Structure formats: structure tokens, C-alpha cells
């Protein structure tokens, strides 16, 4: 669905269908092949006008419209939100309101933005096997599975839809943005939850125990911080009162050189960052997971961690080369700019430095009643 809306004081470049009239996309608009720009080994999305829609939560009610945005969405300065409300880029119930407007619970809020998505690797999403209901793909690090946060079109689901015409798509489960490996995407919801088993491999710091290690530790995800914490909850406490969720992961050592270990990870539950947090809690964090290495519980093989960082290895370059042909570099393509946008004239959003490294955590196997999908180990899984 695309909406046309007359812009006060002029339109803002490309996205305009008529003078002063901008076409606003919504989540219902499917990604298209021409939406992407390829530069220096990265896949960008040409900035586009987009309508974010939300409804006032109970904890938001009673705040002014400007204070609400400034407090809940801190990616832009306060002055931007004042200007956005005044010029109608932020509306309540489809109407322009004053900056002093007090929002009420359940009211519809629209934020019309010039959307810039972070870039991802330029390698395509390789289809390993395609069946009538299931598509098996190789997910590379840096590509989110589905729309979330700043990502809408630069996702596995979006790229499959734009380049292969596959829709609607339902990922069997989510791999973190920086995790690579096997991913199952279904064309209809036929796989029952709880019947799918997953296996990952990881490279961790230290000499992992020889016997299987099972970690039963609750996990609490903080959406504001973008990280999880492991909480050893009181077993006598009512779990319904706890913020954290029950989580269980089984780990088995495959090999070790005394400094690092390659381990098999089998999550019994599926919490955000579960494997990463349970490994950190156990004292064997993933060797290049800088988000959780900073709070490592032991000083186990600190020299090895430094060596990892210096090596600068990335799972993007170490995963099997199946179908990973770079897209052709496109000549200097112009894209629309917007006078209200805080990201223009940059192609990527501000605050993105492009330095994120793929984690040494890789999904290698899915299985269920009567079916199995497997994927080769990446190069970093060898400690030779």
C-alpha cells in the first residue's frame, strides 16, 4: 500500500509522484530488485519515504507528542521532532497536532520518514534447496532474517522476495543478525512449533570441558540495551512473576587447542541471544563476540581474545562459497534526498560504521519428524 500526501513547503526529491506530493510506503509494500544499490562489497537500499505506524501504549499516555518521541526514539535530536510535528511529518489519528498535544492511550501515531537502512554484505541469499513448501537458504552474517529495527528491505525475507519472487515467507526461527548458517523458510505455516531441533557450532575462548555441559539459566532480554543477561533465578519463586524466561542449552566439545574450543550447541528453548549468553555465563564466551566478551566472568585465555580481534576474521569470508557471487558494482547512482531527513545526504543511516564482524556462531543442522537439513562447517571451525 502506498499513500500520497501533499508536503507542506515542498516534497524532498525522488519519491515524489507529482510536484509537492510524496509517495509514502508502508510495511505492505514488497521489496523490489531495483530498490538495492551495490557499493564496495555492500548492499544498500535506496532511501525511500516510509510511514511508521504505532499506537500509544499506556506508559506513553499523558506525555506531549514531542516528549514521547524524544524519550522513546532517541535516534534523532529533540529539535527534529519539534520540526516534524510542526510540518506534519508526525501526526496523531491522521491529523496534524501542535507540539504541546498530550497523547492518549491507543491513539494512532504516524511518523513519516525518509528511511535509510544499514547496508549488509553484497553476497546474495543463496538458495540451497527449494521444495513446494520449504526453502533452505544460506544466511550470511550481517543480514537480519526479517524486518526489525532499522531493517525492512535489507533482510533475508526481503531479498528473497525481491530477487526470487518468494512470498509470503515464514522463517522457522530467527538467526541473530551477526550469526551465519542454515536457515529454513517456509511458504506456509505447516511446521509445528516445538518439533524443530537446531544445532549450531561455535568457537569459544578456553578449553571447554570434555563432558556435555547443560546450562539451565533464565534469560532476561533488555530491548533498550539490545542485549540479554543470564539470571540464576530462585526455583521456589513463581516464574510468572519473573522478568526473565526459562532457557536451556546443551553444549558438547568437538575439538580444542587449549586456547580455543569448537563446540556443538543445541538450544532446547529459543530465547534472544540464548547461546551467546549461556556461553558467557559458563565462562566460555564466543571468541569474537564483543558484546558479551566485555563482561566475561573469568580471565580465561585473555591473550587468545586479543589474538582473535587482531586476526579480524569474518564468517562472511569463511562460510562455504556456495552461490556467494558478489553483485556487480553499480556506477555512481543518484538517490533522492529529503530536506527534513537527518541522515541525508548519506546513503547509510548516521551512527553506522560498518565495522560489525560476523560471529563465530553458525547454524549447521535442522531436524524434525521425518526430515533433516544440514549445512557444511565454515572454515573457522578447524583449529588445525
Task: Tell me which residues are annotated as active site.
Answer: 176
Which of 261, 266, 264 has the alpha carbon at shortest distance from 249?
A: 266
Contact 359, 176 (CB under 8 A): yes
How many other CB atoms are there within 10 angstroms of residue 369's CB atom?
Answer: 8
From CA 99, how far away is CA 227, in angstroms rounded? 33
Helix (H) / strand (E) containing 280: helix 274-282
Neighbouring-strand partners of residue 136? 129, 184
Task: Quote the CA–CA distance of 340 and 356 in Å, as a whole number.
Answer: 29
Compute the chain's Rg from CA coordinates: 23
> What is residue 181's DSSP assignment?
E
For the chain, how many residues are written? 384
Q: How far, in Å, CA of 136 to CA of 131, rounded?
A: 8
Cα–Cα distance, 309 to 59 (Å, whole number):
42
Write the Ramachandran bin of 378: left for phi over 0, alpha for psi from -120 to 50, otherwise beta.
beta
- Three-state SS at 66: helix
- Among candidate residues 198, 151, 147, the one with its CA nearest the CA of residue 169: 147
**Residue 114 C-alpha from the chain's centroid:** 20
Amino acid at each position: 500500500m502506498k499513500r500520497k500526501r501533499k508536503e507542506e513547503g515542498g516534497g524532498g526529491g525522488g519519491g515524489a509522484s507529482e510536484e509537492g506530493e510524496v509517495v509514502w510506503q508502508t510495511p505492505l509494500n514488497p521489496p523490489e530488485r531495483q530498490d538495492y544499490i551495490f557499493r564496495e562489497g555492500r548492499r544498500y537500499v535506496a532511501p525511500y519515504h516510509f510511514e511508521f505506524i504505532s499506537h500509544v501504549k499506556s506508559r506513553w499516555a499523558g506525555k506531549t507528542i514531542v516528549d514521547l518521541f524524544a524519550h522513546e526514539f532517541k535516534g534523532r535530536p529533540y529539535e527534529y521532532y519539534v520540526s516534524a510535528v510542526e510540518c506534519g511529518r508526525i501526526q496523531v489519528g491522521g491529523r496534524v497536532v501542535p507540539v504541546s498535544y498530550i497523547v492518549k492511550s491507543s491513539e494512532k501515531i504516524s511518523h513519516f520518514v525518509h528511511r535509510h537502512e544499514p547496508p549488509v554484505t553484497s553476497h546474495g541469499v543463496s538458495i540451497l534447496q527449494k521444495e513446494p513448501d520449504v526453502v533452505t537458504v544460506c544466511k550470511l552474517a550481517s543480514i537480519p532474517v526479517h524486518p526489525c529495527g532499522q531493517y525492512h528491505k535489507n533482510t533475508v525475507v526481503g531479498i528473497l522476495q525481491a530477487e526470487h519472487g518468494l512470498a509470503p515467507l515464514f522463517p522457522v526461527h530467527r538467526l541473530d543478525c551477526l550469526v551465519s548458517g542454515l536457515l529454513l523458510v517456509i511458504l506456509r505455516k505447516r511446521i509445528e512449533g516445538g518439533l524443530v531441533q537446531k544445532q549450531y557450532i561455535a568457537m569459544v575462548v578456553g578449553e571447554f570441558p570434555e563432558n556435555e555441559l547443560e546450562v539451565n539459566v533464565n534469560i532476561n532480554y533488555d530491548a533498550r540495551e539490545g542485549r540479554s543477561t543470564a539470571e540464576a533465578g530462585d526455583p521456589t519463586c513463581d516464574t510468572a512473576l519473573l522478568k526473565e524466561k526459562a532457557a536451556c542449552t546443551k553444549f558438547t566439545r568437538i575439538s580444542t587447542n587449549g586456547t580455543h574450543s569448537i563446540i556443538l550447541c543445541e538450544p532446547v528453548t529459543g530465547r534472544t541471544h540464548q547461546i551467546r549468553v549461556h556461553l558467557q555465563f559458563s565462562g566460555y564466551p564466543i571468541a569474537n563476540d564483543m558484546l558479551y566478551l566485555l563482561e566475561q566472568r573469568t580471565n580465561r585465555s585473555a591473550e587468545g581474545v586479543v589474538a582473535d580481534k587482531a586476526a579480524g576474521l569474518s564468517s562472511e569470508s569463511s562460510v562455504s562459497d556456495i552461490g556467494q557471487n558478489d553483485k556487480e558494482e553499480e556506477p555512481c547512482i543518484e538517490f533522492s534526498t529529503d530536506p527534513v531527513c537527518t541522515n541525508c545526504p548519506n546513503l547509510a543511516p548516521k551512527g553506522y560504521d560498518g565495522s560489525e564482524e560476523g560471529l563465530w556462531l553458525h547454524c549447521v543442522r535442522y531436524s524434525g519428524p521425518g526430515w533433516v537439513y544440514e549445512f557444511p562447517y565454515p572454515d573457522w571451525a578447524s583449529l588445525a
